Amino acid sequence: MRIKLLPSSYDVEGRILPVQRLTSYVLDDLLAVDAGSLALGLNAFQREHVRDIVITHSHIDHIATLPILIDELFVSLKAPLRIHATAAVIELLETHIFNNKAYPRFSELSNSHGAVMRYCPLVLGLPVRIAHFQITAVEVNHPVPTVGLIISDENSTVVFGSDSAQTSEVWALANQSPNLKAVLVEASYPNELEVLAQRSGHLTPASLKAELQKLRAEKVHILAVGLKPSYRETIIRELGELGDMRISVMDPGREYVF
């Protein structure tokens, strides 16, 4: 499984910076998880082939460029973009984003080939097949309806934790996955902002350490994501101080193969 965290920060010459402001991943050039920087970070091949997009929750940093991407592809789509999300997330998207005020209700619009966008509801805990992946969505602990994802192909399983404070089911499912290779888990705030992290449904390095006690696998890559840009250096230092060799900070723009 090839996974790329799409870049979301660039210097004035257009070079990719490691700072992560938005969240979106591309798997094997054809499946997207979240759409924070999807319209900005896809290459030409991916732009033509990514037609399934899983949305974990409705926060702007995870969906910001979804309307922009659909708008851009509108005329050229020969089949609808498939948006996979729970019913609760679909309702939030329809109410607050695709409401004909913030942006058009693309689910009701067509081009000369037919519909341009179709919702594919995810049911919590029920594995679905999307392309060559098996995907299970489980509820996590965040102020809005949010899912973590367990994604497997024939060789590997990777957990996408999305945004979440302390949670349990996603770890239980990770422990049941024989081919678990990597866990993408957030570390949003530094330890001194633990109260803010709790209130906003996020983790610090210290609370991440406690979460990792729930994970049995020892030979697994723990990729920290979602580090708030203002605290990035502190969070990286505090992650290093955990002394857990499995942990590294996920690098935007780099392709990871599991």
* Nearest distance in Å: CB 86, Zn ion: 14
- Please check whether residue 25 is in contact with residue 13, taking contact to mean a CB–CB distance below 8 angstroms: no
Q: C-beta of 202: minimal distance to Zn ion in Å? A: 8
**Given CA atoms 193, 241, 34, 171 in this order, what sign does their dihedral have?**
negative
Q: Which residues bind Zn ion (CB under 5 A)?
A: 59, 163
Give 59 or 209: the residue with its C-beta nearer to Zn ion: 59
Our CB check for Zn ion shows the closer of 163 and 211 to be: 163
Q: Of the two residues 1 and 22, which places its CB atom closer to Zn ion in the complex?
A: 22
Q: How far apart are CA 71 and CA 24, in angstroms?
A: 18
For 102-113, give one letter per residue: b (16+ CB within 10 A) or e.
Answer: eebebbeeeeee
Distances (CA, A) of 39 to 15, 42, 120: 17, 6, 20
Cβ closest to Zn ion, residue 1 vs residue 170: 170
Nearest approach in angstroms of CB 191 to Zn ion is 20
Please state, in angstroms and rounded to a whole number, the distance separating the CA atoms of residues 196 and 186.
15
Nearest distance from C-beta of residue 57 to Zn ion, angstroms = 6
